[in-house]
Amino acid sequence: MAGIINWNELWKSMRSGHQRRGDRGEDPGSRWDKRAKKFNESVMQHTERTERQIAKLELKPEYTVLDVGAGTGRLSIPIAKQVKSVTAVDPSKGMLACLQENVERDGITNVTSINKRWEDIELGVDIEPHDVVIACHSLGMFDIQEALGKMDAASKRYVYVINFAGKWMGNGDGGLRKAISGEGRRFGHSTDYILLYNILHDMEIYANVDIMDTEFEQHYDSLGDAVDRWKEMRDIPEEKEDVLREHLSEILVKDSETGALSFTRGSKSATIWWQKNETTDMR
């Protein structure tokens, strides 16, 4: 039942600023290609968050798992060690190349990857239903209702969608927000879990939500690298680059040995999940 607010249209409008600046004729795959190596180095080192996320999943040795937007296999690889097989879908060749290296290094043989956007996957043609479907911080889709519906249709037992709760990077802006945007202007986008929850409710999927404390962490080669990535992530205009550079030079932490810079802030993450036969019976 659709309510007064069309949550999917709201999601689209919040994403559209992001898409306008982000796409520039590129698909999400090529955008992630550029970040793949750095992302891989960063996420594969920090296993505590991964272990806590996996502990929330219902996994059995006989299950098949579909990882939508699997990236470099941060979740696919440890999951593959507990289940029959994992299918990793991702539009980025660079991310999947890292996944392949990680799979080979760990001697894993039950992960298959498909290099496509989730929107372009045809159920019954590219993939058959899996026991468990997960999508973790990979909701780059414009029509999220359609994407969630396809995840539901692709699952035989459980669906888990993990997204941030509240501000994407935690509360780490300091004075940047005001300096960049001025008083009263909306800054960036906040397509957090609550939109997904409401969209699912309109689809008559009454999901569960677990909120978890986590850390947002990013590493940069140099101040220039950080400036470029924050500009892209936070939709910061060219003329505000100096303000951003100064702000980052104050808040980033330098590793005394490698000279690499990092940004770490407390954040909250939401696992939205539902069991297939519980909700489908009601629809």
Question: How remote is the C-alpha of 121 from its chain's centroid?
Answer: 18
Can you tell me which of 65, 88, 111, 136 binds ligand SAM, judged by CB under 6 A?
136
> Rounded to whole angstroms, how far apart are CA atoms 136 and 151?
12
Instruction: Choose one: 90-98, 165-173, 195-203, 235-243; the region binding ligand SAM (CB under 6 A).
Output: 90-98
Work out which of 18, 74, 150, 234 binds ligand SAM, going by CB under 6 A. 74
Any contact of residue 141 with ligand SAM (CB under 6 A)? Answer: yes
CB of 281 to ligand SAM, least distance (A): 29
78 near ligand SAM, judged by CB under 6 A: no
- Closest contact distance (angstroms) between CB of 204 and ligand SAM is 24
Q: Please name which of 259, 253, 218 lies closest in space to residue 42, comparing C-alpha atoms.
A: 218
Rounded Cα distance between 72 and 68, Å, is 12
Interface with ligand SAM by CB under 6 A: which range of 10-18, 27-35, 178-186, 223-231?
27-35
* Contact by Cβ (8 Å): 106, 35: no
Binding segment for ligand SAM among 102-110, 116-124, 204-212, 247-255 (CB under 6 A)?
116-124
Q: Is 92 in the site for ligand SAM (CB under 6 A)?
A: yes
Contacts of 209 (CB under 8 A, 6+ apart): 193, 197, 270, 271, 272, 273
Nearer to ligand SAM, 64 or 271 (CB): 271
Amino acid at 183: E
Counting every residue, how long is the chain?
A: 283
Compute the distance between CA of residue 162 and CA of residue 185 in angstroms, rounded to an integer: 28
The footprint of ligand SAM (CB under 6 A) covers 28-29, 32, 43, 68-71, 74-75, 89-92, 95, 117-119, 136-138, 140-141
